[in-house]
């Protein structure tokens, strides 16, 4: 998927996220769930999408930013909200406040969830 390092031209194995020769971050690499130390990655953009939200868009935004399944995130949020009350509720409100809405100009087409 990557091909060659854009920094030094070294050939890269498929799915490589860093160049083995110069250590440069390979652009277009698949997103990592957790960034390795020493390479501050571009953080996943946490925004609350305008489409595909059920309530405030926190679950949809988290799922979108980290590549998770939206339905799974919502089920975990609801189940966690029941059994871990009020931990999930507080986190949800904190995310609601902390996550900006998706900018109008970057709206994506409505998706079926
Ligand atoms: Zn390189």
**Would residue 27 count as lying in a domain?**
yes
Cα distances from 87 to residues 4, 81, 84, 99, in angstroms, run 45, 7, 6, 18
What residue numbers bound the domain in which 82 lies? 58-106
Q: Are residues 34 and 74 in the same domain?
A: no
CB-CB contact of 22 with 5 (8 Å): yes
State in Å: Cα 8 to ligand 1 middle: 4
Q: How confident is the model at residue 80 (pLDDT cuts 50, 70, 90)?
A: very high
The reported pLDDT for the residue numbered 84 is 92
Q: Which residue has the higher pLDDT, 83 or 39?
A: 83
CA of 3 to the centre of ligand 1 (A): 11
Residue 36 has pLDDT above 60, yes or no: no
**What is the model's pLDDT at position 76?**
94
C-alpha 10 to ligand 1 mean position (Å):
5
Is 35 within the bounds of a domain? yes
Instruction: Give how many domains the chain has, as a whole number.
Output: 2
Q: Are 15 and 30 in contact (CB under 8 A)?
A: yes
Q: What is the pLDDT of residue 42?
A: 63
Q: What is the Å distance from ligand 1's center to 19 Cα? A: 5
Please indicate, yes or no, if residue 22 is contained in any of the structural domains. Answer: yes
Q: Tokens for 9, please give them.
A: 């031209």
- 0.75 cut: is pTM over it? no
Q: How far is the CA of 67 from the centre of ligand 1 (A)?
A: 27
């Amino acid at each position: 998927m990557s091909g060659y390092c854009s920094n030094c031209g070294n050939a890269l194995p498929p799915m490589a996220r860093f160049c083995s020769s110069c250590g440069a971050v390979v652009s277009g690499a698949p997103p990592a769930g957790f960034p390795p130390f020493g390479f501050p990655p571009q953080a996943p953009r946490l925004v609350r999408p305008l489409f595909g939200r059920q309530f405030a868009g926190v679950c949809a935004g988290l799922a979108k930013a980290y590549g998770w399944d939206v339905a799974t995130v919502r089920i975990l949020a609801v189940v966690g909200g029941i059994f871990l009350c009020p931990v999930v509720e507080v986190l949800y409100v904190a995310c609601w406040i902390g996550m900006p809405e998706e900018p109008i100009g970057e709206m994506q087409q409505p998706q079926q969830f």
